[in-house]
Amino acid sequence: MGATLLGLHLHRLEPQGVSGVAVIAESHLTIHTWPERGEAAIDLFTCGHPARARAALDWLRWSMGGTASRFREIPRGARTTD
């Protein structure tokens, strides 16, 4: 997505899975996995171009073998009700 990686911290969960954060110059990405359910939650916060963020999430879904995903874009400064 053209982001600049500043740091990466991953933690293996017991008995399986991972939780982690990637700090990028443009903000950050978090991931939490539940392999026993075939699920992962990924949050990508960026001040960069939203199309690149979507492409990054699409690539992550593909690389993890995902078949379904939900994408929600919230523009910076927008107020949400949930």
Active site annotation includes 49: no
Task: Note if 27 is an active site residue.
Answer: yes
Q: How far apart are CA 37 and CA 55, in angstroms?
A: 24
HSE-CB for 74 with a 13 A CA cutoff: 9
Residue 1, amino acid: M
The 10 Å CB-count burial string (b at 16+, else e) for 28-47 is bbebbbeeeeeebebebebe
Choice among 11, 19, 32, 63 that is catalytic? 32
Residue 11 bears catalytic tag: no
The active-site residue, picked from 11, 28, 47, 49, is: 47
* Catalytic member of 27, 28, 49, 69: 27
Q: Which residues are catalytic?
A: 27, 32, 47
